[in-house]
Amino acid sequence: MSLSKPSLQALKISKAFISGLVQVQVLQQLSISIYPAELSLIVGPSGCGKSTLLSIISGLQNSDAGQVLALGQDISQSSRKSLERFRLHHTGFIFQGFNLFSALTAYEQVALPLSYLKFTAAEIKRRTHTALEEVGMSHRMQLRPHALSGGEKQRIAIARAIAKAPELLFADEPTSALDGVNGQQIIDLLHRIARLHKNTVLCVSHDPRLIRHADRVLTMEDGKIHRDWRKENDSNPLVEYTDVQEYSHE
């Protein structure tokens, strides 16, 4: 269990959207701390606010109120340019739809973002090969997406996300497009990455298969955290350990 210094914090964040003439409150003064070296999973029904929370805490979207601290930096006060630079250097994203380029090989998918970081050609090659090897896709690196299965595409997406060695890794429904076997392999891979590299891995999903593989499970409902479960170690089940009032403030 990793309870040292949080790498991500949301402090009393709120978010509402306008739907027609109605304002829908998606997040309500929600506070949460996320820690490195573990896989944290946010679960809940569709529309509960989990994807909005992920978007805000990763810097892709602004909240209406509150603060977001990422690696000790207040990204809720950052300019768009500063946020883009922060995401480029410190974050990796994994999406439900893989977001691969149809014309690029697996190798090129992973290498492309590294070019924006001004690495040398030799360093790009080294990082790309290392990332593909870690996800078990080095033997498929010359293939394009049309020749890959869904599970293989998601592995390439993970390799692309981890190649630049980000401290923060965000996954939005990473297994929902996959069958049981591939979904199991992907969540095991994310868990291993968190433990091996000490990354902060934050995942949102409504897939119940993921729960037993997470180090921590946060259940959302109506824009609030209702339950918080943590695994003390790999041999023990998840146990509830926190009063939810720590997270959701009326």
> Position 10: which residue type?
A
**Phi and psi angles of residue 42, each rounded to the nearest 5 degrees, phi first:** -105, 120
Look at residue 244 in the predicted model and tell me its pLDDT. 46
pLDDT computed for residue 237 by the predictor? 61
Count other C-beta atoms under 10 Å from residue 103's C-beta: 8
Per-residue tokens: 165: 């060695």
Residue ranges in the chain modelled with pLDDT below 50 = 1-2, 243-250
Neighbour-count burial for 27-55, b at 16+ CB within 10 Å, e otherwise: bbbbbbbbbbbbbbbbbbeeebbbbbbbb
Among residues 123, 203, 202, 121, the alpha carbon closest in space to that of 163 is found at 123
Residue partners of 189: CB distance under 8 A and separation at least 6 = 135, 155, 158
Average model confidence (pLDDT) across the chain:
89
CATH of domain 36-60+79-242: 3.40.50.300
